[in-house]
Amino acid sequence: MAEPDDRLQPIPETVAETSGYELESVEHEVMEALAAGDLPRARALIEPLHYADLADLLQHLPADDRRVLVQLLGDDLDPDMLSELDESIRDDIIEQLGLAQVAAAVAELDTDDAVDFIEELDEEEQRQLLEAMPESDRALIEQALAFPEDSAGRLMQREVVRIPAFWDVGQTVDYLRQNADREEEVLPEIFYVIFVVDPHHRPVGQVSLSRLLRTRRTVKIADIMETDMKVIAAATDQEEVAFLFRQRDLVSAPVVDEAGRLVGAITIDDVVDVIHEENEEDLMRMGGVSEDDLYSAAVDTAKSRFTWLFVNLCTAIIASLVIGLFESTIEQVVALAVLMPIVASMGGNAGTQTLTVAVRALATRELSSTNALRVIGKEVLVGSFNGVIFAVITALVAWLWFGNTEIALIIGAAMVANLVIAAFAGSTIPILLERLGVDPAIASTVFLTTVTDVVGFLAFLGLAAWFLL
């Protein structure tokens, strides 16, 4: 048996070598090099980084250090890195580089990435950047920007491989090889599927690269193409696109215009970005913040959060008005003032649990009109179970604390009522808002908080006024 050869090729870069821990270590080294004025070392540290890691590094650094690194990179700046940057950081880098260099970098991107970059700019910056780009690239991007925002037309890659059905495998392979290095023929840099079109450029089938490469040259494309494919209209919302990819396990899908002509393709890497973007957006909206709050100026962040805080102030005032109705009751039984926040707090938390489940289910199409009543019924039943359990626990605490059986029974009854109402409101409010055309992720929490606070205080103080006084 032969001895193993120690002279092997170096092991490729592994995931562990580019982990968050390693990147954080590189960030510290870069900051130390910049602080010491050792610019060659700083450049040597950032040159091996993947463009996404470099974007993270630039976002983590102070503005002055970031500008130094961008200047160090110069013309070697990876265009793909620009599309990974947060909007506020991106604007700063654009201003530093100048429109000419940015335009040259954007022209090297795939059209979907270029559109994603340009659509975040204001109209004047878009106009200036497009004017600085080569005419052929500008035309493709302007066509994509003509589609509605957050639509498949904006998301798609316009460079696709399209062939007629009467070709055979050999002709197709020769076509790909002959056009790979020709500047006048635009082919995508990376693709998974070849689309088959009719004389009117309408997609009639598709052939995966794996199927193409495993088939003899003489076989007709029409004999191996898949005709059962999902065609996406260019005006389709990107959330619907993401749902289709998840539901059908798609890797790539053709996009057509109003006439049914093939105008582009959407690939799974773009859909992953959409899923992340939509989930992040919903999460941020539920908290009343925006995704760029981390990098925005303090004044801008304060302005963006003002509306949410003002709405919460209004709901708090409504809850306080309810408490004010029972002012005389609270004055006579001080224990009520001590115990009443417990009921409202428990209702708010229970309602938020239900609300989170409902909003996610609506986003993933798992909650619809066909199963809405069943879901609401289940959540109310869960609220009832938890209401009874926590009613017993809270009543026991109140009795041990104040030695008053009536107060213990009252807070127990209020706990059951509020947790049941919280479950009902948490499941129905998102459904009603969606029916009204309002994003449930934005407004649900405001209404739920109002309901649980008002019902909690009203149930507890109302029962106390009724039975104690």
| CA-to-CA separations, 349 to 31, 356, 358, 395, 448, in angstroms, rounded | 43, 11, 14, 19, 10
Residue 313 has pLDDT above 90, yes or no: no
Closest C-alpha among 422, 418, 426 to residue 362: 426
Q: pLDDT band at residue 9, thresholds of 50, 70 and 90?
A: very low
**Strand segments (E) across 105-258:** 162-164, 193-197, 203-208, 232-233, 252-256
Report domain extents, the chain.
Answer: 16-150, 162-286, 298-468
Spell 343-364 as b/e; 16+ CB within 10 A means b: bbebbbebbbbbbbbbbbbbbe
> Which pLDDT band holds residue 387 (cuts at 50, 70, 90)?
very high
Question: Residue 75 has what DSSP assignment?
Answer: G
- The better pLDDT of the pair 421, 369 is held by 421
- pLDDT, one tens digit per residue, over 139-182 is 888 888 888 888 999 889 888 999 999 999 999 999 988 876 65
pLDDT surpassing 50 at residue 334 = yes
Q: At the topology level of CATH, where does 162-286 sit?
A: CBS-domain (3.10.580)
Beta-bridged to residue 177, according to DSSP, are: none
Please check the confidence at residue 7 and state whether its pLDDT lies above 70: no
Phi/psi of residue 183, nearest 5 degrees:
-65, -30
CA pair distance 172, 217, nearest whole angstrom: 9
Does the model's pTM come out above 0.75? no
Fold agreement (162-286, 298-468)? no
* pLDDT digits 0-9 by tens, 85-97: 877 788 788 888 8
Confidence grade of residue 412 (pLDDT, cut at 50, 70, 90): very high
* pLDDT tens per residue, range 213-251: 999 999 999 999 999 889 999 999 998 898 899 888 888
Tell me how far apart the alpha carbons of residues 280 and 300 are, in angstroms, rounded to a whole number: 20
Which DSSP helix (H) or strand (E) runs through 151? Answer: none
Angle of CA points 202, 208, 209, to nearest 5°: 120
Q: How many residues does the chain have?
A: 469
Residue found by looking up tokens 């700046």 in the block? 77
Q: Contact, 211 vs 220, CB < 8 A? A: no
Residue 8 has pLDDT above 70, yes or no: no
Q: At what angle do helices 238-248 and 268-286 cross, to 10 degrees?
A: 120
Kindly report the CATH number that applies to the domain delimited by 298-468. 1.10.357.20
| Between residues 403 and 111, the one the model is more confident about | 403
- Distance, in Å, from the CA atom of 50 to the CA atom of 17, rounded to the nearest integer, reads 12
In the chain, the amino acid numbered 226 is E
Which has the minimum average pLDDT: 51-55, 231-235, 404-408?
51-55
Single-letter amino acid code for the residue at 176: L
**Residue 284 banded pLDDT, cuts 50, 70, 90:** low
Give the pLDDT confidence of 259-274 residue by residue, as tens digits: 999 999 998 988 888 8
Count CB atoms within 10 A of the CB of residue 38.
13
User: Could you give the 3-state DSSP secondary structure of residue 453?
Assistant: helix
In this structure, are residues 208 and 222 in contact, taking their beta carbons and an 8 Å threshold?
no
Of 109-118, 279-288, 416-425, the one with minimum mean pLDDT is 279-288
Q: Is the pLDDT of residue 307 over 80?
A: no
Q: What is the pLDDT of residue 111?
A: 77
Residue 65 has a pLDDT of 87
Q: What is the mean pLDDT of the chain?
A: 83
The total of other beta-carbon atoms located within 10 Å of residue 384's CB is: 14
To which CATH superfamily is domain 16-150 assigned? MgtE N-terminal domain-like (1.25.60.10)
Kindly report the CA angle at 426 between 422 and 428, in degrees rounded to 5?
A: 115
269 φ, ψ (degrees, to nearest 5): -65, -35
Q: How confident is the model at residue 3 (pLDDT cuts 50, 70, 90)?
A: very low
Q: How many CB atoms lie within 10 A of CB 144?
A: 25
